[in-house]
């Protein structure tokens, strides 16, 4: 019955209804091809690897949810720890008027803004990327709010230990061992090798996760799109400073993922009202929320304003749920860990 419904959806494409967006068209096409070709062999994706060191305050939600960490080794083994992601409560809407736009419009606008305004750097391997992030958390039950300032010093080439903070708590993160890798990559050399063309970036991520079998976007199904969204969200959330052109490409690539949607009237940590982009993951049970939260943008310029996530702590009756708003306050390249600009 699912394939029949998709055939009807395709039939409606030229029946006077509004055109399908590109993401929906790709999803329908992929499912139809799969139905025509018969059952395909099961794809066993690699475990979702997300950074073992935190670089944004939004990572606190990921840590509490257990969406990280997996460290891949060259011999194919994976060290990991996982838990179920939290359910994200629906954010409150502002009463201010705002025009409706698609997620693709927002993310293309964000990419254009970033290309025009991005500050490019070429750090030395022996330097550190300093970031200062502001996190504002509100207890959803009591309404109590607390703010944190997280400062991070990340080794550019990954050869030195880094100082990492999450919601006010810091620790030393050792360099990766020989043969280890993480997603998203943190060292500048690896980041610089990622494609700055959005379609090529998607294919590179897919082939990293699915053993090189993806040649075009038409080869990607729902499960793979879910993995790709997870990887793109991790790249955008956990790597606040990137080589020239990579962040705009990641925004545009995110806009190509079927299921991303725009949600108007969302407030950031400074109280500014913007439009958010989030993701409906078709591989999760209805009502469940995956990794990624809300990316909030200025509704006019599409400048990125910050993240909105849900974080939980504790379990059972003692579990507390927080709405977390965060943004990058400043960053720079420095010569020593703990050195401020």
Half-sphere exposure of 215 (CA within 13 A, CB side): 0
Task: Express each pLDDT in 25-38 by its tens digit.
Answer: 555 455 544 444 44
Average pLDDT over residues 84-89: 38
Task: Express each pLDDT in 37-64 by its tens digit.
Answer: 444 444 444 444 444 333 333 433 333 3
What pLDDT is stored for residue 215 in this prediction? 84
Place of tokens 């991790």: 234
What pLDDT is stored for residue 282 in this prediction? 87
What pLDDT is stored for residue 23 in this prediction? 57
**Burial letters for 108-128: b for 16+ Cβ neighbours within 10 Å, e otherwise?**
bbbbebbeeebeebebeeebb
What pLDDT is stored for residue 150 in this prediction? 97
Q: What mean pLDDT is reported for the chain?
A: 78
What pLDDT is stored for residue 64 in this prediction? 34
Task: Say which range, 132-146, 168-182, 267-281, has the weakest mean pLDDT.
Answer: 168-182
Are the C-beta atoms of 269 and 92 separated by less than 8 Å? no
Cα–Cα dist 158/161, whole Å: 7
Neighbour-count burial of 151, counting CB atoms closer than 10 A to its CB (0-12 exposed, 13-18 middle, 19+ buried): middle
What pLDDT is stored for residue 72 in this prediction? 41
- Residue 254: other Cβ atoms inside 10 A: 28
- Strands (DSSP E) contained in 78-222 are 78-80, 128-139, 145-155, 162-166, 169-173, 180-181
């Amino acid at each position: 019955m699912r394939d029949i419904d998709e055939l009807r959806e395709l039939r409606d494409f030229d029946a006077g209804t509004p055109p399908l967006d590109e993401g929906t068209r790709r999803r329908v096409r992929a499912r139809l091809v799969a139905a025509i070709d018969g059952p395909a062999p099961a794809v066993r994706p690699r475990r979702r690897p997300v950074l073992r060191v935190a670089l944004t305050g939004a990572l606190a939600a990921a840590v509490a949810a257990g969406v990280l960490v997996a460290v891949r080794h060259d011999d194919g083994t994976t060290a990991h720890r996982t838990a179920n992601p939290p359910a994200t409560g629906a954010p409150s809407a502002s009463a201010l008027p705002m025009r409706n736009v698609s997620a693709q419009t927002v993310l293309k606008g964000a990419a254009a803004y970033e290309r025009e305004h991005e500050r490019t750097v070429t750090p030395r391997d022996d330097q550190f990327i300093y970031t200062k992030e502001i996190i504002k958390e509100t207890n959803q039950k009591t309404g109590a709010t607390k703010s944190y300032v997280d400062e991070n010093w990340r080794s550019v080439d990954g050869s030195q230990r880094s100082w990492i903070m999450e919601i006010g708590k810091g620790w030393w993160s050792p360099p990766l061992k020989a043969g280890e890798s993480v997603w998203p990559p943190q060292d500048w050399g690896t980041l610089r090798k990622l494609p700055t063309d959005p379609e090529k970036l998607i294919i590179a991520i897919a082939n990293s996760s699915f053993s090189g079998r993806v040649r075009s976007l038409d080869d990607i199904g729902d499960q793979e799109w879910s993995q790709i969204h997870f990887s793109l969200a991790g790249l955008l959330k956990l790597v606040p400073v990137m080589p020239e052109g990579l962040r705009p490409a990641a925004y545009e690539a995110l806009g190509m993922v079927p299921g991303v949607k725009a949600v108007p009237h969302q407030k950031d940590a400074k109280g500014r009202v913007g439009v958010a982009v989030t993701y409906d993951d078709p591989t999760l049970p209805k009502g469940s929320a995956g990794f990624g939260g809300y990316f909030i943008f200025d509704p006019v310029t599409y400048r990125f304003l910050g993240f909105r996530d849900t974080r939980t702590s504790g379990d059972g009756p003692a579990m507390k749920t927080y709405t977390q708003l965060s943004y990058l306050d400043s960053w720079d390249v420095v010569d020593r860990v703990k050195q401020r600009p």
